Structure formats: structure tokens, C-alpha cells
Structure 1
């Protein structure tokens, strides 16, 4: 009976989301109604859900999200992203499509201090796109480089999605952070290889130019050194601290936020900008925290009702090939990516998908990275790819259309799926570094 109720509540949850009810409200309503129907007591249902919410929010790991978001906001507002882009541009000046590759390289490094793809998309829409457009890059090609490479922010640590996944599955945040490094680098290499091949085959989409001949003033050199070295310092502090065991992820997030604040002050941030960054971090993380609380309630509903065991038994009883089930998960993730944001996708599916994957013998760390990659691809899928809308809103060009961004980002969407399949079939890409270092 409990399993049936849990499945009915899952159907009701999907129905409410399709009606446009906020996913957090939908999760809370379905969890409360489901537990009430199972227990037959309002008092017992409210007590269980209240304790679940309290136990969820009091975990130390929840502090990681606002601190990493704050670190990213400080870096974004300090202008360090612009410094990083210019450094990458000059370092890669001999490569075809160098500005697009500089965008990918900049996003790869920028991802290591933000953890949010939207921040990278917004920053590089204003920094990289105008530079590419100015020297004659084809509009769709330039837009695709910005939107596609921004996805790296969801994989390369620190990543909000990895933190959410770890919280839901009770995995180590540090292990998932380290696991995302190699696949993230592989994805960046795939993106860069595509740009180089495309630029060689059709030079008109990425004309060569000699932008490195422009003389820099001492002030510009100083600014770039501070921004570039500052970001590298933060990466060493945060990722290196977790890697070596000096910091827990929560401690690393705190020191990272302090380091980002110091970089911002040196770069000229004033009190008003610091306060705005703090408020923006709060506006970004408060909805995520609410979603995480309601997701824990939803997970408790599934646990009490035995829904996960019921679905596992259903698949195992049918004798379906495990990779067909994984393929179905990919399709569900991509379809959901067309409709809702990545955090919501994880909250809805991971409590069900992760135990099923474990039953099939798939390494939990490899499955987490595989899942994040597929969900990343959803950020670029029409009609509601979140990163596409972010680029459209941030890019300083009124002639840009959503269709152009979707078209330009399609190769990156496909390459993300390629990287996901590589991790699925070669789990060591994600697992060997955590096993080696942690």
C-alpha cells in the first residue's frame, strides 16, 4: 500500500509541476499528503516531516552552497573574469579560433571558483562575445562557444550540482569534487578540439587576427596579474585544500569566500559592491536551500513508501538490460532539461535513479558525474535551456536570437553527451583520482 501511495504522489508531483506550481511547493505538498495517507495521522505526518526538514538544514554541508556562491559573486564583481579571459587569449594566440578557445579556457578556470554555470554564462556573454563579434566571428559560432563552455561550471569543482547530489545521496562532497576534475578537463579538451577543427575547415566563422599587438598600459598589466594570479590562488586554496585533506569542503568554501573578498578589495571593490554581492548570494542560495529541504521530505516519502525498492524490483523482474534503463534515465534527464532547472531535476530523479544504478553495479561516483553531465546538456536544450536564456539576457547585442544560441550550442550539447558516455563506460575517468587522493 505504501508503495502505491508513493507512486501516486510521484504522479501528482509531476502533474503539479506541469501545471506550473513551484517545484518546492509541489514537493512539500506531495510529501505531506503522501505521509499522511500512509500513517493516517496528521500529527505523525507533520512530526516526521518537521524532523526531516530540521535534520536536513542543520547539516554542516549545507553551508557549502552559500559560501561557494558568495565566492563566485565576489570574483564576478571584481573584474577578475575579464583579466582571466585576456590572459587566456594571449596564451592561446597561435591556435585557430583562439578567442573561442580562450572563452573555453576561461570558463574552465572560472568554473573552479564559481560553481554556477549561470554566473559564467552571464560574465562571458559580456566579456567574450563582444570581442569575438568585433573581429568578425560568425554570430552563432561565438554564441555557441559562450553558452556551451559555461556548462563546465556545473562539473568542475566547486559545483552546486555536485553539492546537491552529495547531500541527497549522502556521498562525500570532497570525493565528488575531485571526481569532476578529470571529466571536466576532458570536456574542455573536446570543446577546444571542436573549435579548432571547425575554424580550420571554415576560417570564415573564426577569422585570424593579430590582437596581441596592442600595447598594454602598466595599470592593465597590474590588473591582469592581480586577477589571474588571484584566481589561481583561489583554485589552489579551495581544490588543493580539499585534495590534501587540509580543509573539509565547508572550511574550503569559507576560506575561498574570504580569499575572493580580498581579491575583490585589491581589485577595487567598494563597500556597496560587497554588500550587493552578499545579498545576491543570499537571493541565489535561499531558493536552493528551500528546494533541498523539501527534497529531503520527498526522499522520506519514497523511503517510507518503499517506492525505490518497488521500482527496482519492477526493472529487475522485467529482465531489462541495465544499459537500456540507463538510456531511459538519460532521455528523462534531457526531457526534464527542456522544462525545469538542473537543481530541480536532481531533486526529482536522483533519489530514485541513484539506488537503481547501484543495483546494476554502477559505481556511485561515476554515476554521479555521468548524471551531472547529462543534466548539464539539459541546460542547452530547447525550448527552455536555462543557459541559453541567460546568454540571451546578458549578451550586449539586441540582434541575437534564441534560435541562434540554440543552433550554436548544439555541437557542445552533443559533446557533453559524448563525455557522459565516456564516464559511463570508463568509470575510472571519474573514480581513480578520488581513490588516489582521498
Structure 2
């Protein structure tokens, strides 16, 4: 069978199964079984494929995923996240648009650990939009920062999604996590400048309101008690990875332990909170492991059937500049994001895009960061970005889709500006991991 026939059979099976409502991980598993039967010699091929897939689940690189997820779930269910939100709110005082800043700063901390952009958007929308609406904020000031937060959260470590992408692409997990630090800080600066410009151009967009002034001693107490410990856990584990003191797996363990200790110190570590945290982390971990299993076996089938080699040869045969090919792959991700969830997109594109990126001479860590940003931008790209419809579900009833599109655009432009910077100056991402 020609390479395009093999590729069509594998991808076509996946698309059909997903279209009839089968979960993504199971659709990939079923397609892999069909492919193994056709290309690897029937029952013997299926057994070999299953053995190879189980082997992919025993890698040490997967350990950070459940630990980072548990860290985020404890952070949320014990109320530590709410403490940090409230403290940041009170520290900013009468700053114009302060609730928008709170959304970006506090939401990034939560979204980074939760590993789910859709869940974070729904939570922040339900939590922050009613408050900002009651304070007279215009819709683009309340909705936009929530939609933009995901792009920031996905690249600032610790990010469970970055760990999953690195594992699927078989690249250095620690390097990808560390590579996101400087670009993440740049994107945060872009977001803050965007909110500041919006409040300057339209002061009525975020009208000031009276808040009880906090004395400097009280502000210092709030900072040291409710912000520094939470942020400190993230800073310490990133610093330990940068200095090479610990591996990403060990850093994730220290992070989960640190949040547990904080919850105990704040006397909010209850049995109910731990039960909910473990249950939430377990659900996402099982899904992630099924995805790794499906992706590993799918990659092997693409290679065994000749589809990977044929597709790379076909794509590079157009004699296009590497940057043009990068933009083509970026565009494909933006289109897929209108219809698919991030993890599904990774399953479908990582086995194809990363070998092609290496063939084109791109650093795999740098390309992984570009891909993470593309995955997040695609979620808020009009007209069908999935987060836009999640926001529609939690926004005030009179909110139109046009208002949501308008709110998202400045933050999409910020992320696109960061992508442009990374293309022009790859050292922004590669300097810290020393590549």
C-alpha cells in the first residue's frame, strides 16, 4: 500500500470514530488495532503493538503529569487559590481595571496547574465575570483577560500540558518547561500593557469604585501570607530545574509536597478536599496515560507503514522555505483548534509535525513551545474556537458572540506577537535551557 493510502486509512478511521462520538483515546486505540492488523501481520502485529504501547507508559518522563495535576487540584480544592485571588485583589487597591489584572495574575497561577484550559475558562468566567459586571466593567474588559490567560498559563511552568507534549514528542521535558519561562514573562508583560492601554483609551471600560484602603502593614502581611507562599512553590521548583538540582519528576514531587504543607499550615487540608483532589487528578491522569499509549502506537504505525517517511518526503518536496512550512503547520493547528480539544490535536499532529520539524532543521524544544502557543491561540480563534463557546456559556445572558470575539482579539494579537518574536529570535526560548 502506498504511503498516502496507509495515512488515509489510519486518519480516516480516527475521524470516522470521533465523528460518531467515540472518545478520542479509544478512537486512536481502535485505529491502531486496525492498522496493526493490516500492516503488521494480523494478531501477532496487534500483540507486538500492545507490548510496545505498554512500554511507553513505563517511562520516567510521565511521572510529573499526575504530580503536577495533584498539585493543582489541592491548590483549588483546599481554597489556597481563592486566598491568593483575594489577596491580589486587595493589594491592587484602586488601580483602574484591577479586577482584570487579578484575572490575569491569579488565573495564570490556577490555569498553569489545572492542565485544562476549558475548565479554567469556565471557572474564571463563573467566578470573575459576575463580579466585574456588577462593578460596571465593559464586557471586553471582563471577558478578554480570561480568554487570554490560557496562553500565558500553558507555557509558564509547571504546565502539565507541556509535560504531556514533551512526552509525546520524545523531547527533554525539563528543557521544554524551562524554555517557557522567559517567553511567558514577555507574554505577561504584553497582557498587562494591553489592559493598561484599554483603561487609558476608555476609562469607562473599568470604572473605579471605592475600596477600603489597606495600611502598608496589612498589605505586607497579605503579600507575605497569601501570595508569596503560593507563588514561592512554583518559583522554587522552576529554579531547582533551571539549576539542575532536580529532574522534572522530582520537581513535581516537591511541588505537590509543598502545596500539601501549605494547606496543612493554613488549616484547610481536609479529608473532603484531599478526596476531591485525588479524584480529579486521577481522572485526568488516566486520560493522559491512555493518550500517551494511543500516540506511541500511532507513531509506530505511521513509521512501520511508511506513512511518516512518505509524508515528510512529500512536504519537503515543495522546496518551500522552512519558515513558510512552519507557518503552514501553525495554520493547520489554528484550524484544528476550532473543532478539537488540545490533547486531541496533539495526538493527531505530534507524530507528523515533529519529525517534519526536525527534518526542516528546527530545534525540537523551540518548536514544542511554538506548538504549545498555537494550541492555545487556536482555542480562541473566531469564529469556532472552543473557548469562545465555553465563555458564552458562563457570560451574562445578553452577551453576544461578536462581543466575545472582540474581547479575545487583543490577547490573540499578544500571543501572535510572541510567536513572531520567537521566530525572529529563537534565543528568547533557548537561552535559559542552554540549547
State the TM-score, normalized to the length of structure 2. Answer: 0.90
Q: How far apart are residue 304 of structure 1 and its match?
A: 0.8
Aligned to 1:21: 22
Aligned pair in 2 of structure 1 residues 245, 114: CA closer, same or farther (>3 Å)? farther
Q: How far apart are residue 98 of structure 1 and its match?
A: 2.6
Aligned to 1:196: 196
Q: Which moved more, 1:23-32 or 1:328-337?
A: 23-32
Contact 1:75 1:263 survives alignment (8 Å): no
Aligned to 1:244: 243
Aligned to 1:45: 45
Aligned to 1:146: 146
Residues in 2 aligned to 1:386 and 1:283: alpha-carbon distance in whole angstroms: 21
Residues in 1 aligned to 2:309 and 2:326: alpha-carbon distance in whole angstroms: 17
* 1:106-148 alpha-carbon deviations (Å, 9 max, x no partner): 2344455444434543443344334422321112320111221
Contiguous gaps of at least 5 residues in structure 2 = none
Aligned to 1:230: 229
Aligned to 1:430: 429
Aligned to 1:264: 263
Q: How far apart are residue 345 of structure 1 and its match?
A: 0.7
Residues in 1 aligned to 2:269 and 2:400: alpha-carbon distance in whole angstroms: 33
Residues in 2 aligned to 1:91 and 1:224: alpha-carbon distance in whole angstroms: 8
* 1:53-112 alpha-carbon deviations (Å, 9 max, x no partner): 211111122221111111001111222223323443455457542321232122344455
Aligned pairs for 1:141-180 within 5 A: 141-180=141-180
Q: How far apart are residue 264 of structure 1 and its match?
A: 2.2
Aligned to 1:303: 303
Aligned pairs for 1:5-16 within 5 A: 5-8=5-8, 9-16=10-17
Aligned pair in 2 of structure 1 residues 76, 332: CA closer, same or farther (>3 Å)? same
Q: How far apart are residue 239 of structure 1 and its match?
A: 1.1
Aligned to 1:254: 253
Aligned to 2:185: 185
Aligned pair in 2 of structure 1 residues 292, 383: CA closer, same or farther (>3 Å)? farther
Residues in 2 aligned to 1:402 and 1:80: alpha-carbon distance in whole angstroms: 33
Aligned pair in 2 of structure 1 residues 308, 382: CA closer, same or farther (>3 Å)? same
Residues in 1 aligned to 2:408 and 2:320: alpha-carbon distance in whole angstroms: 34
Residues in 1 aligned to 2:112 and 2:245: alpha-carbon distance in whole angstroms: 18
Aligned pair in 2 of structure 1 residues 15, 310: CA closer, same or farther (>3 Å)? same
Contact 2:3 2:311 survives alignment (8 Å): no
> Tell me, what secondary structure is at the counterpart of 1:381?
coil
CA root-mean-square deviation: 2.7
The total of aligned residue pairs comes to 433
* 1:207-238 alpha-carbon deviations (Å, 9 max, x no partner): 233435268998x9977744313212311332
Residues in 2 aligned to 1:387 and 1:285: alpha-carbon distance in whole angstroms: 22
Q: How far apart are residue 390 of structure 1 and its match?
A: 4.5
Residues in 2 aligned to 1:106 and 1:35: alpha-carbon distance in whole angstroms: 46
Q: How far apart are residue 399 of structure 1 and its match?
A: 5.0
Q: How far apart are residue 47 of structure 1 and its match?
A: 1.9
Contact 1:333 1:374 survives alignment (8 Å): yes
Q: How far apart are residue 315 of structure 1 and its match?
A: 2.2
> Tell me, what secondary structure is at the counterpart of 1:125?
helix
Aligned pairs for 1:111-150 within 5 A: 111=111, 113-118=113-118, 120-150=120-150
Aligned to 1:282: 282
Residues in 2 aligned to 1:27 and 1:157: alpha-carbon distance in whole angstroms: 29
Contact 1:179 1:433 survives alignment (8 Å): yes
Residues in 2 aligned to 1:112 and 1:37: alpha-carbon distance in whole angstroms: 41
> Tell me, what secondary structure is at the counterpart of 1:318?
coil
Residues in 2 aligned to 1:259 and 1:49: alpha-carbon distance in whole angstroms: 39
Contact 1:75 1:81 survives alignment (8 Å): yes
Contact 1:12 1:30 survives alignment (8 Å): yes
Aligned to 1:335: 335
State the TM-score, normalized to the length of structure 1. Answer: 0.90
Contact 2:76 2:110 survives alignment (8 Å): no
